[in-house]
Amino acid sequence: MPDATSPDRSSFRRQFPVLRLFDAAAIALSPASVAIASVASVLIYISWWLVGYQIPFTRSAYSLSDSTERWLQTIGSIPKPEFLTYETVLRPWTSVTYPGILILESSSSWNERFAGLVLLLLAIGIWSLAGTILCRRSATLFVGKDESTVRSAIQYCLVRYPASVAAPLIPLFTALLIGLMIAGIGFVGRLPLLGSLWLLIASPVVMIFGFAIAFLLLVTAIGWPLMVASVATDDCDSFGGLSRAYSGLTGRPWHVLVYGLISLLIGIVLISMTKLLIATAFFCTMSSIGFGSGEEQAQSSLLSPLTILSHIILSGVGVSFFWSASTAIYLLLRLEVDRVPLDRLALDDNARPARDPLPVVGIPATDAWKQSNGQAPPESN
């Protein structure tokens, strides 16, 4: 029996809800979550490979930009056992923001921008599905609903997948429309005599539009994981997820920064420990195989497959932690902004009570009574 003078752990955690961020590390190590995250990571790698080497219109884009070349070499080369920590934790975020930066670079060609657009849409599509499933799974584990299965989480998220995809695309499309408006204003500047004067007069309006684009892009880039988490936890549509993420970011910006830094530090420690475990397993496996088949045979046959498998597992742990931490941050922001308890979660579709049909009145009700009873219903006094 615990000592009566010892502090209650649950009450202590209620007083300091930020400690729930540490639960994200334990939840991220769920085998099912790591498996889903690993599959999503492989799909991202395949999409990069297809865009970089297989699609003719985008293939030549990677020979035109030094920064893109370095990026492609980093993500396309066979990884070594020495893994980068922060890039592994932030893999979903970087796989979305890097193509966006490629699109916005003034030195990018039209081929590069098209390649960035394809990668951006593929990344949003893949991560919206996997992220919603992982956020749903993390949220159920956060509130202690261990009976919620992976199958129910997948079924729940497949129905809400369009909302997860549309939530970040709405502000991005709005920013695109504003950019086209600015381009239209700039097109008038091509006039030989009035062009410079027109741009000078329109400069305040253009600057305001530029601030609007910057706000949309920055808040969307930072709040995109929160949008996915809101759809997964609160069963809201795309506009609901967008508004909840925006309210959390604008209402508690410093809290978002602190939560993000704490989560990043926890993720780095988690990935470092996972890297140590994987490197040790890698060494033990190669040594044992080399003792039996010979070191040269083991190096030539298993080095590349085991290295790739190790990288996939580590990437899966990092991706799983990313979405688990995003869920924890969203729940904390929801508690502070809307005063919603941390353990409040939308029910699974199969756990919701069936609704009674609306009562039928009038002539249809009389006909239904006749069919079931063979006579007219009694008249009420």
DSSP 175-210: HHHHHHHHHHHHHHTTSTTTHHHHHHHHHHHHHHHH
Question: Does this model's pTM top 0.85?
Answer: no
What average pLDDT score do residues 67-72 get? 44
- In single-letter form, the type of residue at position 3 comes to D
Q: What is the pLDDT of residue 139?
A: 86
Per-domain boundaries in the chain: 19-350
pLDDT at 318 over 70: yes
> pLDDT of 199-230, one tens digit each?
788 888 889 988 998 888 888 888 899 999 88
What average pLDDT score do residues 40-52 get? 81
pLDDT at 31 over 80: yes
* CA–CA separation, 87 and 94 (whole Å): 8
> pLDDT of 96-121, one tens digit each?
888 888 787 767 777 777 888 888 88
The pair of three-digit structure tokens given for residue 250, joined into one six-digit string: 């604008």
* CA–CA separation, 357 and 24 (whole Å): 41
Average pLDDT of the chain, as a whole number: 75
Q: What is the pLDDT of residue 323?
A: 92
CA 351 to chain centre: 25
Burial class (CB in 10 A: 0-12, 13-18, 19+), 282: middle
Among residues 162, 143, 165, 164, the alpha carbon closest in space to that of 351 is found at: 143
What average pLDDT score do residues 43-49 get? 82
67 or 27: whose pLDDT is higher? 27
pLDDT at 56 over 50: no
> pLDDT of 145-185, one tens digit each?
665 677 888 888 888 888 889 888 988 899 889 988 888 88
Q: What is the pLDDT of residue 59?
A: 43
Phi-psi region of 115 (alpha: psi -120 to 50; beta: other; left: phi over 0): alpha
DSSP 24-75: HHHHHT-HHHHHHHHHHHHHHHHHHHIIIII-HHHHGGGGS-HHHHHHHHHH
Q: What is the pLDDT of residue 205?
A: 86
